[in-house]
Copies of this chain bind each other. A is one copy, B any other.
Amino acid sequence: MADQNFPEPQGGGSLIIAWQIKGKKVLVIGGGEVAAGRILHLLNADALITVICPPSGLNPEVKHRITKNQVFHIPRNFHPSDLSDPSSISMVLVAIDDPAASTLIYKLCQKHRIPANIADVPPECDFYFGSVHRDGPLQIMVSTNGKGPRIASMIRKFIASKLPSNAGRAIESVGELRVKLRKIAPEQKEGPKRMGWMKDVSDKYSWEEMCEMTEEDMDNLLRFYAAGTVPEFKELRGMRAGAKEEDKVPYTFDGSFGFSVGA
């Protein structure tokens, strides 16, 4: 049956998403170790962070973030008036040792439809955090859906140890190539051709080759777009201005593909 080609859903997971919090206001209530971890996640995503915590509750890392003006600090406990302009607040993260206050904050957030996470209280979380590996534009998040935070961290380290050292660089290259391609073939009707050619590029080159790709290589590669072909990576090496004579591949210059880029 054709039906059986469709994947069977596996319930019990989370919907893992990359939230776009850049330039948006986030309240972090509490200033201990857990808050420090949340703040780093938020800074890595360019959020505008306000930490609400009495000075006595700040751990050294949170103090450091305040001193460096990486976060704004309100030096007292949470007060419901902190949510008096709910439309200005995109997210609330709570990490305090006060279950009653935590529950109150969570209920206020629900009322105002502000996504919230109360640390260590799963039923009062619209979302959980996981262990994140970061390498430039690459982010890999490991979640055990609350079953084993320490294992999540082990798995993250295991993955980091297996990844090529410049996996992030390879992604940057593909991103740059896509931007350059849109410049030389900007028309909307070119969309399918652009996507198809980018797919061919991804299929043809290994990660290691992608990581090696220079600006010059990209410019040379783009000359193949009009003909819709993708050369071997060694051909790109041969086309470099400083390439040794023996590395130059003859058909790079044989005119067998058109230079009608942008036509």
Mark A residues whose CB is within 8 Å of B.
Answer: 2-3, 6-7, 9-21, 40-47, 60-61, 64-65, 70, 87, 91, 112-115, 117, 125-130, 132, 134, 136-145, 147-148, 150-151, 154-155, 158-159, 162-163, 167, 170-172, 174-175, 178, 198-199, 202, 207, 210
Q: Is the interface of A mostly helix, strand, loop or mixed?
A: mixed
Q: Contacts A17-B19, A19-B16, A40-B7 hold; do A147 and B127 have CB atoms under 8 A apart?
A: no
> Which partner residue on chain B sits nearest A172 by CB separation?
B147
CB contact under 8 A between A43 and B174, given known A19-B127, A141-B141, A202-B151: no
Within 8 Å CB of A87, what residues of B? 113
Across-interface contacts of A7 in B (CB, < 8 A): 40
B148 and A175 contact, CB distance less than 8 A: yes
Q: Is the CB of A134 within 8 A of B13?
A: yes
Q: CB < 8 Å: which of B70, B113, B144, B150 contacts A137?
A: B144
Nearest chain B residue, comparing its CB with the CB of A142: B140
A16:B18 contact, CB within 8 angstroms: yes
What residues of chain B lie closer than 8 Å to A171, measured between beta carbons? 144, 147-148, 151
Nearest Cβ distance between residue A175 and chain B, in whole angstroms?
3
User: Which residue in B6, B60, B140, B178 is a CB contact (below 8 Å) of A155?
Assistant: B140
Can you report 17 residue pairs joining A to B where beta carbons are below 8 Å apart? A9-B44, A11-B43, A12-B136, A13-B45, A15-B18, A15-B91, A16-B17, A20-B125, A20-B126, A87-B113, A113-B113, A137-B145, A140-B155, A147-B171, A147-B172, A155-B167, A162-B162
**In the complex, what distance in Å separates the CA atom of A3 from the CA atom of B250?**
56
Q: Which residues of B contact A139 (CB under 8 A)?
A: 13-14, 16, 130, 142-143, 145
A159 in complex: contacting residue of B15, B117, B140, B148, CB < 8 Å? B140
Cβ A151 vs Cβ B129 within 8 A: no
Q: Which residues of the partner chain B approach A44 to less than 8 Å between Cβ atoms?
A: 9-13, 15
A155 close to B126 (CB less than 8 A): no
Give the shortest distance, in Å, between A188 (CB) and chain B (any CB): 11
Q: Which residues of B contact A60 (CB under 8 A)?
A: 2, 6
Question: How far is it, in angstroms, between the C-alpha of A178 and the C-alpha of B122 when the chains are bound?
Answer: 15
CB distance from A161 to the nearest CB of B (A): 9
Say yes or no: B11 contacts A46, CB within 8 Å. yes
A151 to B207, CA, bound (A): 9
